[in-house]
A and B are shown apart, each in its own frame.
Chain A
Amino acid sequence: MTLRLTRLTLTDFRNYRSLVWRPAARISAVFGPNGSGKTNLLEAVSLLVPGRGLRGARSAEFARRGPDASGRWGVAGRFATQAGPMEVGTGSVPDGTADRRVFRLDGAAPRNQGEIAARVAAVWLTPQMDRLFVEGTSGRRRFLDRLAWALEPSHAREVAAHDTAMASRNRLLAEARTDAAWLAGIEDAMARHGVAATAARAGLVARLNAVLEQGAAAPFPAARLALLCPIAERLAAGPALAVEDWLRETLAANRARDAAAGSATVGAHRADMGLADAESGLTAALASTGQQKALLIGLILGHAALIAEARGFAPLLLLDEPCVHLDPERRAALFAALARLPAQALLTGTDAETFFPLRGVAEGLRAGGGELRPDEGFPAVAPVPGAL
């Protein structure tokens, strides 16, 4: 049930010129002032799975700047897995466009990024997500899609295919092209991929709620997730093929309206996510910042337990400033839940003291000057016998 990062090597990545870090415990707490490179470390780990990483940055932004910088960057992770050691590397394209990155899997180019996604998963929480419930639906949908993707690696392809089809339809409608058969072909793709993506989202929501109900995040208060989407409502009531037909017909009927609106008014791209406290029923949209943060943490903890159960390995948990806005009681619950979960976790914070309750379980690392130094406040963690 394990996926363990055993070594991380950074080369000209953000503020790190050259770093080799060997995590010495299942939980690593990284602290230091703002700008010390804590989040960069989490971002580097987040790039070991396909996607744009925890900041959603472009590849060109990752290279370290400075007079002695090469302009190329690389991140390499060595993992211990049930099937043996595995190396995942990523970095700038050696001789090509700046805004792309390439992967290596065990020293060779993978056939596609799905090969990486099938073997490594990571989930993160960042301070920017404190605004998840005050901003538009697209941020919440992306958040939900990342959770669904970690459960079902093909989900990313379905969403991307749906979005390509939708962009194509928007273009034809904007150009006032009236080739009905062409539009119908595009709408067919939107319906097929949109229903598949919605089914994956709905599957995630149902399974995540089930493990949360069973106490996967305990003692952290459990959250309850909801998928707000008319396609999902129809999927719950009838067969997928009937929902595809309905969506195709709806899109065909709405062409004039969608042309005026500039985009499809119905579709998988309009899904939203609702989150509420499982006990009180308090919804995130009405909750305080601290309560929202707690709901999201509860969700992420449950998700790690779900992935461990469903895929045989827990995702890497990257929690950037998880303790900000949490009261002492919830912090204690978070640390207790992390100690119980099978997942490897990287946490950041400003002070070492925040993480003192984790002494004996976690290693403490001070970030700064492009380096990581073990903090004396944290005794060495004895390896668990038999654990990787």
Chain B
Amino acid sequence: MGGPEIERLIGMLARLPGFGPRSARRAALRMLQQPEARMLPLAAALNDAARAVRPCRLCGNLDSRDPCSICTDPHRDRSLICVVEGVGDLWALERASVHRGLYHVLGGTLSALAGTAPEDLNLPPLLARIEQGGVAEVILALGATVDGATTAHWLSERLKPLGVTVTRVGQGVPIGGALDVLDDGTLAAALRARRPA
């Protein structure tokens, strides 16, 4: 159907999260019917984002500025760092406007079964920021899965000797729940109800 360009486009779309073969075909068709209005601007946006966006060297957030716009925001409370598993969790917390401090993106959780070890996590920049001083509290906002809880336990053991208060988000998060899928009210309650780790 229609040549290798279309097949390749559909194949690449179908591998995106939230897409399957059927939705990929629909999206491809919609774009191909209006290449000037829909497709070339999208291609340009993809190109721009791919070239400009990088992980922030301080916190791991994705931004076209490095350090990112959160790390450089003068109105943020720099004594408070919220540790999340991924950028999706950071976005969820930002959407809900529940955290006024800085973030740190760990880039995963420890998982013996998936083979993610401490050295695979983005920890050194967080340790460096804490050692520079000025950080009073680190909030661990890792999902309530077994791996998330294990990572929180491990991380609090690593951070406490550095003289910071380590807290964990409240129990409103169901087991297996990722922060990204929670509604704003639940997120706010979980962050308010944090307790010592």
Select the stretch in B38-46, B74-82, B107-115 that faces chain A.
Answer: B107-115
B57-96 interface with A by 8 A CB criterion: none
Query: Which residues on B sit within 8 Å (CB–CB) of A189?
Result: 146, 149-150, 153
Known: A181-B157, A182-B118. A168 touches B151 (CB 8 A): no
Write the chain B residue with the least CB distance to A192.
Answer: B149
B150-177 to A contact mask, C-beta < 8 Å, 1/0 = 1111100110000000000000000110
- What distance in Å separates the Cβ of B25 from its nearest Cβ neighbour in chain A? 12
Give the distance to chain A from B15, nearest Cβ to Cβ, in Å.
14
Interface contact A168-B154, CB-CB below 8 Å: no
| Chain A contact patch, size range | 20 to 34
Q: Tell me how far the C-beta of A230 lies from the nearest C-beta in chain B, rounded to whole angstroms.
A: 23
- A171 sits at the interface (CB 8 A): yes
- Residue of chain A at shortest CB distance from B157: A181
The complex places the Cα of A192 from the Cα of B20 at a distance, in Å, of: 38
Q: Report A-chain residues with C-beta under 8 Å of the C-beta of B175.
A: 157, 161
Q: How far in angstroms is the closest Cβ of chain A from B119?
A: 10
Query: Which residue of chain B has the shortest Cβ distance to A114 in the bound complex?
Result: B174
Chain B interface size band reads: 20 to 34
A171–B115 alpha-carbon span in the complex (Å): 9
- Other-chain residue from B110, B157, B176 in contact with A157 (beta carbon distance below 8 A): B176
Q: Are A164 and B157 in contact (CB under 8 A)?
A: no
Residues on B with C-beta less than 8 A from A188 are 149-150, 153
Q: CB distance B146 to A161 under 8 Å?
A: yes
In the assembled complex, the Cα of A48 lies from the Cα of B170 at a distance in Å of 33
A182 in contact with B113 (CB, 8 Å): no
Asked whether A168 lies within 8 Å of B158 as measured between CB atoms, the reply is: no
Q: Are A186 and B176 also in contact (CB < 8 A) when A164-B113, A171-B112 are? A: no
Contact call B153/A172, Cβ cutoff below 8 A: no
A377 interface residue per 8 A CB criterion: no
* A172 contacts B157, C-beta separation under 8 Å: no
Q: Does A68 contact B (CB under 8 A)?
A: no
Distance between A127 CB and nearest chain B CB, rounded to angstroms:
35
B69, chain A: closest CB distance, angstroms: 33
Q: Is B51 located at the chain interface by the 8 A CB criterion?
A: no
For the complex, is B8 an interface residue (Cβ under 8 Å from A)?
A: no
Q: Are A168 and B150 in contact (CB under 8 A)?
A: yes
Interface string of B14-38 (1 = CB under 8 A from A): 0000001110000000000000000
Give the Cβ gap from A332 to chain B, nearest Cβ, in Å. 46
Q: A169 contacts which of B112, B151, B154 (Cβ < 8 Å)? A: B112
The answer to whether B151 and A172 have CB atoms under 8 Å apart is no
* Nearest opposing residue in chain B for A166, CB measure: B146
B154 lies within 8 A of A182 (CB): yes
How far is A192 from B171 in the complex, measured between Cα atoms in Å?
A: 13
A184 at the interface (CB under 8 A from B): yes
A174 CB, min distance to chain B CBs, angstroms: 9
Given A161, A167, A184, A193, which contacts B113 in the complex, CB threshold below 8 Å? Answer: A167
Q: Is the interface of B mostly helix, strand, loop or mixed?
A: helix
Chain A residues whose C-beta falls within 8 Å of the C-beta of B117 in the assembled complex = 177, 179, 182
| CB-contacts of A149-169 with B (<8 A) | 157, 161, 164-165, 167-169
Q: Does A360 reach chain B (CB closer than 8 Å)? A: no
Say yes or no: is A185 at the interface (Cβ < 8 Å to chain B): yes
Bound: A215/B151 CA distance, A: 49
Please determine whether A185 and B118 come into contact, CB atoms closer than 8 angstroms. no
Q: Is the CB of A185 within 8 A of B22?
A: no
Q: From B21, B113, B118, B157, give the contact of A168 (CB < 8 A).
A: B113
- The answer to whether the Cβ of A279 comes within 8 Å of any Cβ in the partner chain is no
Instruction: State in angstroms the CA–CA spacing of A188 and B20 once bound together.
Output: 38
Contact B176 A185 (CB under 8 A): no
Complex: chain A residue closest to B110, CB-CB:
A182
Contact of B146 with A165 in the complex, beta carbons under 8 Å: yes
On whether the beta carbons of B152 and A168 are closer than 8 Å, the reply is no
Using known A-B contacts A161-B146, A165-B146, A168-B112, determine if residue A185 contacts B153 with beta carbons closer than 8 Å: yes
**How long is the Cα–Cα vector from A172 to B113 in the complex, in angstroms?**
9
Q: Per a CB cutoff under 8 Å, which of B21, B112, B113, B158 touches A181?
A: B158
Contact pattern, A 173-197, Cβ under 8 Å of B = 1, otherwise 0: 0000101011011101100110000
**With A95-B20, A165-B146, A188-B150 as given contacts, are A171 and B157 in contact (CB-CB < 8 Å)?**
no
- Asked if A184 and B146 make an inter-chain contact with CB atoms under 8 angstroms apart, the answer reads no
Contact B112 A185 (CB under 8 A): no
In the bound complex, CA of A186 to CA of B111 (Å) = 10
Q: Which residues of A contact B112 (CB under 8 A)?
A: 167-169, 171-172, 177, 182, 186
A95-B20, A164-B113, A193-B146 given. 17 additional CB < 8 A pairs?
A95-B22, A161-B146, A164-B146, A165-B146, A165-B150, A167-B112, A168-B111, A168-B112, A168-B113, A168-B147, A184-B154, A184-B157, A185-B153, A185-B157, A188-B149, A189-B149, A189-B150
Smallest CB-CB A-B distances: 4 pairs: A185-B153, A168-B112, A185-B150, A181-B157
16 A–B contacts from the bound complex (CB under 8 Å): A95-B21, A161-B146, A165-B150, A167-B113, A168-B146, A168-B147, A171-B113, A179-B154, A181-B153, A182-B112, A182-B150, A184-B153, A184-B154, A185-B150, A185-B152, A188-B153
- Interface residues in chain B, defined as those with a beta carbon under 8 Å from any beta carbon in chain A: 20-22, 110-113, 117-118, 146-147, 149-154, 157-158, 175-176
